[in-house]
Structure 1
């Protein structure tokens, strides 16, 4: 009997679905991810269940909807006993690791030197942001190149961290930038092999090299922070692009001239350079996987926690109501022996955990909300997928829920406000058509959201008939 396959999950932050070469982007350079897509299954309509980091990450890594987890917004600490995909794989005999970003705890109002809850991982090197806290990333730089340590955090100083320092009066001794301009492209202040992305790439590479071929199977998450703002990349990756030649993102006529096109172009420059930096380290990781003898027995998946507006709709970052640029993210899955293909069906981030469990013969938790995508991997063109995908949030008050079908996005909040996007219309996401859409179509969208929310709710299981 053949041993169970390993799992390598490459997980990035704030990557739009359309920001890969294999997704048809003519400008961004991603040769290693394109090669991964060419030998696996690329899901073109893969959607996350929350538009911000913490609840989206927790949802994906547990296979459960945010509302069922009780975490639908930022800054809610994940209870230490929460069962994750790592818990399941550890119970099945896997060596589990998360290196880089996890974001199960708030960034601010805590000491990053304190022990981190394991959440089922045997090996943790947690660094949720690139340098502003005394964490595993700074420890890595302190060990391998201490003279560069003062420059590590010169591009990032989250506002909440600044407030925390002021309130507590604690001086952490870490140099921080004097100005915060997260969507202005800048060159990294440390050598290219000492950035946060390099830290994740190098440490994942080391972890893989230490796993014996044919030994204990591993489940490893590579948690890249990039291409999350601030838009900072090593000069060697910035030099891959000529900002003047980048194709500007299209915008509706009624917004033309409202945004500085040169600012958006320079932001694309930094964003694409960060993606290329991630792609480089993905290549290094996959090369090490092959060198260590794991290439033929490892499931490799690549995805992200949400996208990036990048100036679309006059916004930057991620936010309500979760248009495709924010909610739709890449998903690539390459498993041993599979045929390559492209799946255009609607799928959700909660589907990844049951998929990995089935591919590896691991018993899934009985309370998973997602469904395995094994059938899509075996026959992508024949896979029907879901009629709609669900997104849940409360970061915007009042709380809201939405569905996204092939043709529409329907959003309803607790105050009764409705948003309808007609996705087949040019720039259909830039206007709310709720007041003018066919009443029959609106009624159907309302009904589909209501039934989906009811069906998605999971109460505690009964232990006896009464």
Structure 2
């Protein structure tokens, strides 16, 4: 009897601020041929939700398989304890070679020296850069060694918190920023003028390919290629901008009331198209780099033993409801992300619409590799869905939790419910048009009560107290 090669390697392609619907295979204008091909070889989860609407809590939640509230990290700026158990530390102890290339964002990036040693969090290799060209980090060092003439182009400007900290601490730096003072991420779409092989996304792609080539043939690996894009500001090579006709890019579906207030927000149709142009161009650049990484897996022969996961830490409003970026109330544009899981010798071209969560990714990786899932992990393996054999074990009713300091949200197949610390409640109906959520009258007492019950019940289901050592 012939046995298929077991999965021994994992590649996670992790992006920042990528909406759930921004894939060509989802009907988006985004041109993503390599990711579409990956989806055609695996399972596309079209109802995947993150556990936080902002970077740091979402990332540590995904990489630990635990909810932000369980970790005590429900807002930005909280340094992740060095002792935290991540999927990387679990695998590293068991002999896997672990690496993270690109963004990690387990420490606040605005108030530290990026050239100083960084906690490993279970990774044997850390090539880190949380912002493109803003700090003296691995990316700038790489460009300095590769093409020092490009250094002055890299940074679009300091993030506001970094600008404040550097002024308060009298930090002196030789880094040239294209815009003085705290930057506005959405003010400009910039063309990267030096060779496209020098962009931040290209650095992630190149360093990931180099890392994969450095592995010995028999070495088991867990690798994260972590892209900053398509997070704003948008700074991309011209050829990716040229993929799109600015005037034909679709605008967000606004309600009549939102249209009435559009002028006062400054988000004119012209500005929204420019922002979307930069966003989709950044997506296509990442897709190009994904193609390079997947080609290396094929070249090396590792593709036959590699589980590939593509996802994002959260989404982006991109003009929906006249908003940009992400945050409360974590509607689908923000909390719903793309998730592709492709495993060799498993059913291809599957489209799965069950609600799944980012906390499910770590248990899925460990289960695929035949590694015990620590009891601290609160997610459930998605392999039954990838195999096409059933539902995630002990899943219960379809529900996803998104959390932040001061509020909690759940997403069910037809509704989104939010409650805040002052007792305010919101309920949105998504059954008719998920792209344009309709708020339900809060007088619908029975419907609100049902979603309160679901939130409390789900919170109890995922409770993880410290382990007992004996009866008492």
Length-normalised TM-score, structure 2: 0.94
Structure 2 counterparts to residues 190-339 of structure 1, below 5 A: 190-213=194-217, 215-256=218-259, 258=262, 259-339=267-347
The residue matched to 1:329 in structure 2 has which SS? strand
* 1:96 aligned onto 2:98: yes
Choose the corresponding residue for 2:403, options 392, 399, 418: 392
Answering whether residue 82 of structure 2 is matched by residue 80 of structure 1, we say yes
Q: Which residue of 1 aligns with 2:40?
A: 38
Alignment length, in residue pairs?
A: 458
Quote how far apart the aligned CAs of 1:311 are. Answer: 1.2
Match of 1:171 in 2: 172
Bigger Cα displacement from structure 2, 375-384 vs 234-243: 375-384
Kindly provide the CA deviation profile for residues 344-400 of structure 1, in whole angstroms up to 9, marking residues without a partner as x.
Answer: 100000001111111111121111100001110111787787421111111xxxx11
Partner of 1:157 in structure 2?
A: 158
Is the partner of 2:337 in helix, strand or coil? coil
SS at match of 1:173: coil
Which region of structure 1 is more displaced relative to structure 2, 408-417 or 380-389? 380-389
CA-CA distance at 1:173 after TM superposition? 1.2
Spell out, residue by residue over 1:89-120, the C-alpha distance to the aligned partner (whole angstroms, 9 max, x if none).
11221000000000000011111011110000
- In structure 1, how many angstroms separate the alpha carbons of the residues matched to 2:377 and 2:459? 15
For 1:61-72, list aligned pairs within 5 A. Answer: 61-72=63-74
Q: Deviation digits for residues 412-439 of structure 1, max 9, x if unmatched?
A: 11110111111124478655424243x2
Q: Which residue of the partner structure matches residue 428 of structure 2? A: 421
C-alpha separation in 2, matches of 1:314 and 1:249: 8
Secondary structure of the residue aligned to 2:184 is coil
Tell me which residue corresponds to 1:404. 411
Work out which of the residue numbers 451, 456, 460 in structure 2 matches 1:445: 451
SS in 2 for 1:88: helix
Tell me the distance in 1 between the aligned counterparts of 2:312 and 2:466. Answer: 30
1:279: how far off? 0.2
Residues in 2 aligned to 1:385 and 1:233: alpha-carbon distance in whole angstroms: 43
**CA contact 2:408–2:418 (8 Å) conserved in 1:** yes
Q: 2:430·2:438 contact (CA, 8 Å) conserved in 1?
A: no
What CA distance in whole angstroms lies between the structure 2 residues aligned with 1:385 and 1:449?
A: 13
Q: Deviations over 1:233-275 (max 9, x none)?
A: 1111001111011122211122125141111111111000000
For 1:415 and 1:188, locate their aligned partners in 2 and report how far apart those are by CA, in whole Å.
46
Q: Deviations over 1:194-215 (max 9, x none)?
A: 11101000000101111233x1
Structure 2, unaligned stretches of length 5 or more? none
Work out whether residues 7 and 299 of structure 1, in 8 Å CA contact, stay in contact via their aligned partners in 2. yes
Residue in 1 that maps onto 2:13: 10
Separation in structure 2 between the aligned mates of residue 210 and residue 380 of structure 1, nearest angstrom: 36
Residue 124 (structure 1) aligned to one of 123, 126, 135: 126
Pair 35,428 (structure 1): closer, same or farther in 2 beyond 3 Å:
closer
The answer as to 2:455 corresponding to 1:435 is no
User: In the alignment, what sits opposite 1:188?
Assistant: 192
Whether contact under 8 Å (1:402, 1:410) holds in the other structure is yes
Report which stretch shifted further, 446-455 or 200-209: 446-455
- CA distance in 2 between counterparts of 1:423 and 1:81 reads 40
Secondary structure of the residue that 1:331 maps to in structure 2? strand
The whole-number CA distance in structure 2 between the counterparts of 1:406 and 1:38 is 24
Aligned to 1:465: 471
Q: What do residues 53-98 of structure 1 show as CA deviations (whole Å, max 9, x unaligned)?
A: 0000000011000011110110000001111000111122100000
Give structure 1 stretches of 5+ with no counterpart: none
Counterpart-to-counterpart distance in 1, 2:172 and 2:432 = 53
Counterpart of 1:377 in 2: which secondary structure?
A: helix
Question: Please, what TM-score do these two structures have when normalized by structure 1?
Answer: 0.95
The RMSD of aligned alpha carbons is: 1.7
SS of alignment partner, residue 256 of structure 1: helix
Is contact 2:442-2:448 (8 Å) kept?
Answer: no
- Residue 60 to residue 405, structure 1, CA distance change in 2 (3 Å): same
Summarize the alignment of residues 344-355 of structure 1 with structure 2, pairs less than 5 Å apart. 344-355=353-364
Shift of 1:314: 1.7
CA distance in 1, matches of 2:6, 2:354: 31
Alpha-carbon distance in structure 2 between the residues aligned to 1:114 and 1:59: 25
